């Protein structure tokens, strides 16, 4: 399953070199994951209120090309389960056909402070496609 969302670079996201600051890409990736959950009718805030928190444990990012102010781009996500507890988000950012960034985001679901299999912590989240 693939999920895509479109963004446009805002001026304040760029650094002195005129390119998107490296830390801003983390925000793009996170916003994409949250919108993906929303598309599945999974309410991140409601989960937290129930003591359930999907949490990032590791991020690997490979920068390929810079984005600059005004660029429109697509943030793409696919998700899979690895082992019993890990959720792998394979995320890419494209400007047109050009790959800008490739990332692997590893997450776990924590319920009341303890890691649990994603399907036990997040009702309706089926990662077994």
Q: What is the pLDDT of residues 60-79, one digit of tens each?
A: 999 999 999 999 999 999 99
Residue 63 forms beta bridges with which residues?
101
52 is a domain residue: yes
Q: CATH number of the domain at 69, please.
A: 3.10.129.10
Q: Can you give the pTM of this predicted structure?
A: 0.91
Q: Say how many residues make up the chain.
A: 129
Our answer to whether residue 15 is catalytic in this structure is yes
**Residue of 4, 11, 15, 53 with catalytic role:** 15
110 is a domain residue: yes
Domain around 76: 2-121
Residue 129 scores a pLDDT above 50: no
Q: Could you give the number of structural domains in the chain?
A: 1
CA–CA separation, 63 and 103 (whole Å)? 9
The fraction of the chain above a pLDDT of 70, given in percent, is: 96
CA–CA separation, 44 and 35 (whole Å)? 10
Q: What is the pLDDT of residues 89-124, one digit of tens each?
A: 999 999 999 999 999 999 999 999 899 988 877 766
């Amino acid at each position: 399953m693939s999920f895509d969302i479109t963004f446009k670079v805002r001026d304040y996201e760029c650094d002195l070199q005129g390119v998107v600051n490296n830390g801003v890409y983390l925000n793009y990736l996170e916003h994409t994951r949250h919108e993906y959950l929303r598309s599945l009718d999974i309410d991140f805030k409601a989960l937290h209120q129930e003591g359930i928190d999907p949490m990032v444990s590791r991020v690997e990012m490979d920068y390929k090309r810079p984005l600059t102010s005004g660029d429109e781009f697509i943030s793409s996500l696919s998700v899979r389960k690895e082992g019993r507890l890990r959720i792998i988000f394979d995320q890419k950012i494209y400007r047109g056909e050009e790959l800008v960034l490739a990332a692997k985001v590893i997450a776990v679901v924590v319920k009341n402070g303890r890691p649990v299999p994603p399907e036990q912590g997040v009702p309706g989240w089926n990662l077994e496609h």
